[in-house]
């Protein structure tokens, strides 16, 4: 038996099945980082709704800030041991973004007590976490 008996054969390849685009989930694997993320997202949502008048989705400026905050949280050097941003020894946000987040938190923080009381309490308690050493 000869594998290639001189007969020309053409190989047919099938195109890979269409793969659904990867969807980015908003959930972090660590519960502590996930809680930090949902708290920040809720604060930005409150701020955008009240100050920018959005109803269904966030405005472009707030969406950019939220995306930036997510990238910073994903790359946090402390990981699950991360303190709240106000107590963090490393300021990983750019100066303008840090000022934006401060303004959002200053506005939305007091309103979180009424709209998300459990989340607000847990964030307040996270403020007492020890600051990790650098």
Task: Tell me if 53 is assigned to some domain.
Answer: yes
62 phi and psi angles, rounded to 5 deg: -70, -35
Task: Tell me if 5 is assigned to some domain.
Answer: no
Task: Tell me if 9 is assigned to some domain.
Answer: no
pLDDT at 26: 58
Domain count within the chain: 1
Task: Tell me if 14 is assigned to some domain.
Answer: no
Query: Residue 40 and residue 15: Cα distance in Å, rounded?
Result: 43
Q: What is the mean pLDDT of residues 6-23?
A: 44
Confidence label for 6 from pLDDT (cuts 50, 70 and 90): low
pLDDT in tens, 33-62: 899 999 999 999 999 999 888 877 788 899
* Residue range(s) defining the domain that contains residue 39: 31-126
Please state, as a whole number, how many other Cβ atoms lie within 10 Å of the Cβ of residue 85: 21
pLDDT score of 12 more than 50: no
Task: Tell me if 115 is assigned to some domain.
Answer: yes
Task: Tell me if 122 is assigned to some domain.
Answer: yes
Task: Tell me if 99 is assigned to some domain.
Answer: yes
Task: Tell me if 133 is assigned to some domain.
Answer: no
Out of 6-15, 55-64, 106-115, 119-128, which region has the weakest mean confidence (pLDDT)? Answer: 6-15
pLDDT in tens, 85-119: 888 888 889 999 999 999 999 999 999 999 999 99
Contact 51, 100 (CB under 8 A): no
């Amino acid at each position: 038996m000869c594998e290639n008996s001189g007969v020309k054969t053409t190989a047919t390849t099938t195109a890979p099945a269409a793969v659904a685009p990867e969807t980015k989930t908003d959930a972090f694997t660590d519960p502590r980082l996930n809680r930090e993320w949902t708290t920040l997202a809720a604060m930005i949502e409150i701020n955008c709704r009240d100050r920018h008048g959005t109803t269904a989705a966030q405005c472009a400026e707030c969406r950019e800030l939220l995306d930036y905050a997510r990238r910073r949280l994903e790359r946090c050097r402390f990981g699950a041991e991360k303190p709240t941003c106000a107590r963090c020894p490393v300021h990983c946000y750019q100066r303008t973004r840090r000022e934006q987040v401060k303004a959002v938190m200053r506005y939305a923080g007091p309103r979180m007590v009424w709209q998300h009381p459990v989340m607000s309490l847990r964030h307040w308690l996270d403020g007492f976490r020890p600051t990790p050493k650098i």
